[in-house]
Amino acid sequence: MAEEAMPDPDHHTPVFRFAPSPNGVLHLGHALSALLNAERAKATGGRLLLRMEDIDIGRCTPAFEQSIRDDLSWLGLTWEEPVRRQSEHIDAYREALDKLTSLGLIYPAFLSRGEIKAHAKRAADRGHSWPRDPDGAPHYPEFERDLDPATAQQRIAKGERHSLRLNMTKALSLLKAPLSWTEGTDNTTIAADPAAWGDVILWRWDAPSSYHLSVVVDDALQGITHVVRGRDLFHATSVHRLLQNLLDLPAPHYTHHRLILDKDGRKLSKSEGASGLGHLRAQGLSPLDIRGLLNL
């Protein structure tokens, strides 16, 4: 494997990244993210890295990765090679997980999404509220943290499907001070609220690692100083700040930009043919037209 773009020894050089998942084609929302990163990197004399977030091995393909490269090149972007591909760095995420495990913060979680929902519904039926995360999903039941370790090991040994979750209460108890991050061009201090997420998944049963763990490890390993990404990930930053703190990793500066919505006011999805960059290009639009569509 070729040498990876590593942190610049000159810590004053800003380092930006665009980090798509090659599980679909790029749409206008991705173009906005990529162009804003490129713009900021240029304006600050910084570097721009491209990272393929492809731990979701069931859905990510080399063909999507190639189409992402083609679309970004067409938009006029350049980036440092070779790009970091998350699927090639599972050991780094495992190491971070092991550190959290040694702090006693990780436990095996056997309940499926349907079972979690059923717990939330039963509570609601009894007139009790059940906490939900910022995306609206019910929290993992806290009583599942206390499964007898020997029984849990037996279930794992039998091959029972499980993910690994962070004990949020315990993780928060290790903090020495409240967490925050610096946001946007006006450097607003935002108070992080990781508790809003409950016990997040850090290792999935159907993929190695998880988005939260790998993004935090990679941003640190690649020396990213500035994260520019969509507003849909604003609340996820609370989890990222917590993991950075627990793993002794530096906090980048964050900017969460506006989202591009479809005509019904919904966030664009990867299956959104009409806003796909390849589709727009085939319609005869130029990279300049794309900037126009994005009000850049």
**Which residues 201-240 are close enough to bind ligand GLU by CB under 6 A?**
215, 229, 233
User: Which position among 5, 15, 19, 207 is part of the footprint of ligand GLU (CB under 6 A)?
Assistant: 19
Q: Positive or negative, the Cα torsion across 262, 267, 271, 277?
A: positive
Residue 20 interacts with ligand GLU (CB under 6 A): yes or no: yes
Residue 53 interacts with ligand GLU (CB under 6 A): yes or no: yes
**Nearer of residues 18 and 107 to ligand GLU, judged by Cβ:** 18
Identity of residue 114: G
Closest approach, Cβ 232 to ligand GLU, in A, equals 8
**Nearer of residues 120 and 243 to ligand GLU, judged by Cβ:** 243
User: Which of the stretches 18-26, 34-42, 164-172, 280-288 binds ligand GLU when contact is defined by CB under 6 A?
Assistant: 18-26
**Nearer of residues 26 and 120 to ligand GLU, judged by Cβ:** 26
Residue 55 interacts with ligand GLU (CB under 6 A): yes or no: no
Closest approach, Cβ 113 to ligand GLU, in A, equals 20
What value does the CA radius of gyration of the chain take, rounded to a whole number of Å?
20
Helix orientation angle between 90-102 and 211-221, rounded to the nearest 10 degrees: 110
Total residues at the site for ligand GLU (CB under 6 A)?
A: 7
**Nearer of residues 161 and 231 to ligand GLU, judged by Cβ:** 231
Rounded to the nearest 5 degrees, what angle is found at the Cα of 266, between the Cα atoms of 259 and 191?
50
Residues that bind ligand GLU in the complex, under the rule CB under 6 A: 19-21, 53, 215, 229, 233
